[in-house]
Amino acid sequence: MPVDLPSSLLFLGRLLLGGAFILAGLRNIQNETFLTGLMAARGVPQAKLALWAGIVLQTISGALVIAGLWTAIACAVLVLFLIVATPMFHNFWDHQGPDRAARINGFVGNVALGGGFLTLIAQSL
């Protein structure tokens, strides 16, 4: 465990960013039926396989970010994941009222996560 403040903050940042994706991947397992149906309705071919690929990608990349292993690659993979998943699941432009507000919040949150990953990529180069 790092003992200096910058190293401790970097580890905490990696823990929070990577941990968010591990938790999201585990949550997606619980919602497999709903998410597969949603993805199929959006035209994703082989939606169940695509969902499971995303779950594996989220959890493994999240764990690598936490561990500080292949950080730039793991972060780049998660940025690409966000580019694909954000418009699919946070399509605020198709909604109104409170549902629209919730999807805007999810969209903005994912943009912020992408910014965090880009920062970690820059730091690790």
- 44-69 pLDDT, tens per residue? 999 999 999 999 999 999 999 999 99
Q: What is the spatial distance between Cα 57 and Cα 86, in angstroms, rounded to a whole number? A: 15
For residues 74, 103, 89, 119, the Cα torsion angle rounded to the nearest 10 degrees is -10
- 63-116 pLDDT, tens per residue? 999 999 999 999 999 999 999 999 998 889 989 999 999 999 999 999 999 999
Domain count, the chain: 1
Domain of residue 18 covers 5-124
